[in-house]
Structure 1
Amino acid sequence: MSELGLMNSVWTMLAAVLVILMIGGFILLEAGSTRMKNAGHIAAKTILTFGIASLTFWAVGYGMIFGEGNAFVGLSKFFYSGGIDPSSDLAESVFFVFQLAFAGIAITIAFGGFAERAKLASYVWFAILFSVFIYPVVAHWIWGGGWLSGHGKQDFAGSTVVHLTGAMAALAATMILKPRIGKYNQDGSVNEIEGHNQVYTSLAVLLLWVGWFGFNAGSTVSVDGAFFGYVALNTNLAAAAGAVAAMFVTVVVTGKARVSTILNGALAGLVAITASCAFVAPWAAVLIGGVAGVIVHYSMEFFEKRKIDDPIYALSVHGIAGIWGTLSTGFFATPELAAMNGGLPGLFYGGGFTQLGVQLLGVTASGAYAFVVSYIFLYVIHKGLGGMRVSKGEELQGLDLSEHGSYGYPEVFGGQSQNRRKTS
C-alpha cells in the first residue's frame, strides 16, 4: 500500500474511533434526559444493541450496502472477511469499521423513541431487524450505488442515511408504545418529565460535538488536499450557530434560556450540516445551523402537543433537522463543491430546482421506507412477541430494577436489588 493509502487508512480509523465514542455521548444524553431509575438500563441496552448492530453489520449489513447487487440492495460481501488490497488508497477493513460505526449510531438514535417504557427484548429484536432490513437498504440507495445515488442525491455524511432513518424508526416506536405514564393529563395538557442530570446532557453534547468531526470530516476518508479541514470548519460553525439561535428563540418565546433547547439546538445544527458540510460555503453553514436551532424549538413543541412522547427529542433533532439539512444542499451547494463531491449546484447558485427536487425525493422515499418498515416490525413485536411495553408497575418502579435486577443508583434507591450475592 502506498504512503497515501496508509495515511488515509490511519485518518479514517481515527475518525471511526471518534464516531464509536459518540455512543458514549448518546448514553449520557439519554440517561441525563430521563429519570435516574432508568439510567442503568439505558447504559446497558445501548452497549448491548451496539454489539448486536456490529454483528449484523458484519454478517449482512455491509454487503447489503456496498456489495454487488441492484438499485435496491447489495447482494454480496456477506460475512465480511477483511483482507488488504495493496493497490488501494484505503484499507477496506478500515472502511468497514468506519461504516459499522455509522450503523451503530443510527440504531442508537432510533432507540431514543423507546426510552423509559420498552422491554429489553424489544430492543434486541428491533436492533436485528433494523440493522438488516432498514438501515442497509437506505444506505445502499444513497451511498452504495443505489437508485438515489444514480439521481445525484447529496448526503455527504448521513443527514438522511443515519439521522432521518433513525428518527423515523423512533417515531414509529413512540406511536406504538404510547406516552409514558404521567406525561399527559386527561384534558390533554402536557406534564414535563424532567431529566435527572443536566450536567450529563451537557457533557453528552460536547462529546457528540467532538465526535462529529469523525462523523463529517472523517467521511472524506482521505487526507489528500486536507479537505477534511474544510468539512470540520463547516461542521463547527453549524453547531455553534444552532446553539446560539436556539438560545435566542427560547428566551424570546419562554423568557428563559432553557438548557435542553440550547443543547438540542447545537445537536440540530450538527445533524443539519451533516448532509451539506462538503457542498456549502462557511456562511451557508452558519445559516443552515442557525435555522436548525430555531426549527428544533418549534418542532419539540409541535410533537409534544400532539402527544408524541419522544423523551430525547430524536424526531425533532435528528428527523426534522435531518430533513432541513438534506434539503439545504439543494439551496446552497456551490458549483465548485458540487462538481467535486457529486450532484448539481443549488438553487441560489443558478442550479435551478433540479438538485432541490432530488433532495426532496431522497428524504421522502428514505423517510417513508424507514417509517413504514419500522412500524410493521414494531407492530409485530408488540402484538406477536409478548409486547414491547413493560407493565405499569414495572414502569413506575423503573427499568433498572424490573429489567436488570439492580438500580444504576443503588444508594439513592436504598440499595434495593434483586440479584444480591448470597453470603454464608
Structure 2
Amino acid sequence: MDTMLTTNNIWMMICTALVFFMHLGFALLEIGLTRKKNAINILFKNIFIITTGLLLYALVGFNLMYPGEFNGILGFAGFGLHAPMTEGALDLTYNSGYTYWTDFLFQGMFAATAATIVSGAVAERMKLLPFMIFTFLYVGFVYPIAGSWKWGGGFLDELGFYDFAGSTLVHSVGGWAAIVAISLLGARIGKFKPDGSLGAIPGHNIPLAMAGVLILWLGWFGFNGGSVLSADPAATSLVLVTTCLAAAAGGVFASLFSTILYKNMDLTMFLNGILGGLVGITAGADVMSPGDAIAVGAIAGIIIVLGVSLIDKIRLDDPVGAVAVHLICGLWGTLAVGIFGSLAGWDQLLAQVTGIVVYALFCLATSFAIIYGLKKTMGIRVTKREEIEGLDMHEHGMEAYEAGLEAYADLSVEK
C-alpha cells in the first residue's frame, strides 16, 4: 500500500478528531458566556446536536451533499452509506487518498456546526423541543443541500464561487439561521431596559469561555488543515500558518479597537476577536500569504467590535456574539477571497458576492419557515417564570453546580 496514501488517510482522521473536539469548545464557550442556571440546557443542546447530526448525516445528509451526478441544485444518492463492506470500501485511491469512511466522518463533523452556532445565539430563552426539531431539519436537509452547491460540485462551484473550509457554507449558513431565530425569539428579560439603555447580563464563568476559545483554535487546525483533503506538506503547513496568524491578528485588533472605543480591556471581545479571525480566514486559508492572513484577521477583529455593537443597536439579543462572529465575519472572509490572496480579482469578487446572496436567500427563507412554523404551532419561547428561574430546573430537573455556601447563609451555626 502506498505510504503517502496511508499518510493522507491518517492525517484526515486526525483532523476529524480535532473537529470533533471543537464541539467541546463550543459548549464551554456558550456556558461560560451565559448564566449558570442554564448550563445544563446548553450542554444538552450541544450533545444533542453532535449525536443527532451524525445520525442524520449518515441517513440522508452525506448523500444530499455529495449526490454525484445531479442537476447542480438538488440531488440525492439514496438513504444510508453505500460503500460496500468489502476491501473496495477501504480503497485509498478514493477522493485523492483517503477512504470513503474517513470522508463521511470528516464531513459529518462539519455538519453539526451550523446548528451549534444557533444554539449559542438562542441561549437562555428558547424551548428545548422546538430547538431539537429545528436541528433535525436544518442539519438533516438545509445544510447538506446548501453544501452541495459548492462542495458537491453544484452550480455555485461551476460559477467559480470559492469557499475553502466554510466561511459561508458552515459559518454563514449557521449565522443566517441565528439572526432569524433571535429576531423571532426576542431578547432575554433585562437585556434592554424600558428607557432604551442596554442591560448587562454577564456570563457566569469567563475562564470556561476562554478554555472554549482555545479549544476551538486548536480544533481549527483540523477544520482548515483537513480541508486540504490530503497531508500534502506544503499545502497543510501554509493553511495552518494562515489560520494561526489570522486568529492572533483578530484577537489583538479586536482588543485594541474595543479598548479605544470603550476605554476598557474587555476579555470577551478579545476572545471573540480570535474567533472572528478564524472564521474570516476559513474561506481562503489555502490561497492567502501570511501577510494576507494577518490583514484578513485584523479586519475581522475590528468587524467583531462593530458587529456586536450593531446587534445591540438594532435590539437583538445574542448572548455569545454568534451573529457577529459567524455571520458577519463569515461574510467578510468570503469577500476577502476576491480581495486578498492568489484568487483576488473582480471576477472572483463577483463570484463571491453571488454566492453570498444565494446562501443568504436560501438560509433566511428556510430558517424562517422552520422557526416561524414552530413559533406558531408549539411556541419557541419559554415562560417568564422558566426564564427567570432557569431552564436547567424547568426543562431538565437538575443543576450544573452543587449549591455553594451561600445557600446556607441563613442558617445559624453554633460556635
Query: How would you bin the TM-score normalised by the shorter chain?
Result: over 0.9
Matches within 5 A, 1:5-20: 5-20=5-20
- Kept in 1, the 8 Å contact 2:284–2:337? The answer is yes
Which residue number corresponds to residue 388 of structure 1? 380
Matches within 5 A, 1:66-215: 66-68=66-68, 69-82=70-83, 83-85=89-91, 87-88=93-94, 89-215=97-223
Cα RMSD after superposing both structures: 1.5
1:201 Cα offset (Å): 0.9
Matched, 1:371 2:364: yes
What secondary structure sits across from 1:54 in the alignment?
A: helix
Which residue number corresponds to residue 339 of structure 1? none
What secondary structure sits across from 1:324 in the alignment?
A: helix
- Kept in 2, the 8 Å contact 1:12–1:222? The answer is yes
- Kept in 2, the 8 Å contact 1:407–1:413? The answer is no
* Paired AA for residue 396 in structure 1: I
- Kept in 2, the 8 Å contact 1:49–1:123? The answer is no
1:74 Cα offset (Å): 2.6
Rounded Cα–Cα distance in structure 2 between residues aligned with 1:10 and 1:305: 47
What secondary structure sits across from 2:402 in the alignment?
A: coil
1:132 Cα offset (Å): 2.4
Pick one of 351, 370, 377 that aligns with 1:358. 351
Matched, 1:329 2:337: yes
When normalised by structure 1's length, the TM-score is: 0.92
- Kept in 2, the 8 Å contact 1:41–1:408? The answer is no
Rounded Cα–Cα distance in structure 1 between residues aligned with 2:23 and 2:340: 31
* Paired AA for residue 10 in structure 1: I
- Kept in 1, the 8 Å contact 2:6–2:92? The answer is no
- Kept in 1, the 8 Å contact 2:42–2:119? The answer is no
- Kept in 2, the 8 Å contact 1:62–1:77? The answer is no
Structure 1 residues 218, 413: CA separation in 2 closer, same or farther (over 3 Å shift)?
A: farther
1:86 Cα offset (Å): 5.1
Q: Deviations over 1:201-259 (max 9, x none)?
A: 11111100010000001111211344101100000000000011011101110111111
Rounded Cα–Cα distance in structure 1 between residues aligned with 2:220 and 2:153: 24
* Paired AA for residue 357 in structure 1: L
In percent, how many aligned pairs have the same letter? 39
Aligned length: 400
Pick one of 297, 315, 330 that aligns with 1:289. 297
What secondary structure sits across from 1:330 in the alignment?
A: coil
Rounded Cα–Cα distance in structure 2 between residues aligned with 1:20 and 1:98: 9
Structure 1 residues 124, 287: CA separation in 2 closer, same or farther (over 3 Å shift)?
A: same
- Kept in 1, the 8 Å contact 2:224–2:282? The answer is yes
Pick one of 257, 260, 264 that aligns with 1:249. 257
Structure 1 residues 413, 27: CA separation in 2 closer, same or farther (over 3 Å shift)?
A: farther
Which residue number corresponds to residue 403 of structure 2? 411
What residue ranges of structure 1 are gaps of 5+ in the alignment?
Answer: 335-344, 348-352, 416-424
- Kept in 2, the 8 Å contact 1:2–1:87? The answer is no
- Kept in 2, the 8 Å contact 1:52–1:124? The answer is no
- Kept in 2, the 8 Å contact 1:142–1:149? The answer is yes
1:50 Cα offset (Å): 1.4
Structure 1 residues 49, 86: CA separation in 2 closer, same or farther (over 3 Å shift)?
A: closer
1:70 Cα offset (Å): 2.1
What secondary structure sits across from 2:90 in the alignment?
A: coil
Which residue number corresponds to residue 34 of structure 1? 34
- Kept in 1, the 8 Å contact 2:254–2:269? The answer is yes
Which residue number corresponds to residue 421 of structure 1? none
Which residue number corresponds to residue 318 of structure 1? 326
Rounded Cα–Cα distance in structure 1 between residues aligned with 2:405 and 2:158: 56
Structure 1 residues 279, 87: CA separation in 2 closer, same or farther (over 3 Å shift)?
A: closer
* Paired AA for residue 385 in structure 2: G
Q: Deviations over 1:141-164 (max 9, x none)?
A: 111011100111110000000000
- Structure 1 window deviating more from structure 2 (126-135 vs 81-90): it is 81-90
Rounded Cα–Cα distance in structure 1 between residues aligned with 2:237 and 2:341: 18
Rounded Cα–Cα distance in structure 2 between residues aligned with 1:413 and 1:389: 33
Matched, 1:346 2:354: no
* Paired AA for residue 13 in structure 1: M
What secondary structure sits across from 1:331 in the alignment?
A: coil
1:414 Cα offset (Å): 8.1
Which residue number corresponds to residue 412 of structure 2? none
* Paired AA for residue 220 in structure 1: V
- Kept in 2, the 8 Å contact 1:118–1:388? The answer is yes
Rounded Cα–Cα distance in structure 2 between residues aligned with 1:217 and 1:87: 20
Which residue number corresponds to residue 285 of structure 2? 277
1:107 Cα offset (Å): 1.3
Q: Deviations over 1:29-51 (max 9, x none)?
A: 00000000001111111101211
Which residue number corresponds to residue 247 of structure 2? 239
Rounded Cα–Cα distance in structure 2 between residues aligned with 1:226 and 1:331: 23
Rounded Cα–Cα distance in structure 2 between residues aligned with 1:214 and 1:121: 31
- Structure 1 window deviating more from structure 2 (88-97 vs 405-414): it is 405-414
Q: Deviations over 1:379-420 (max 9, x none)?
A: 111111x211111101111011011001111314988xxxxx
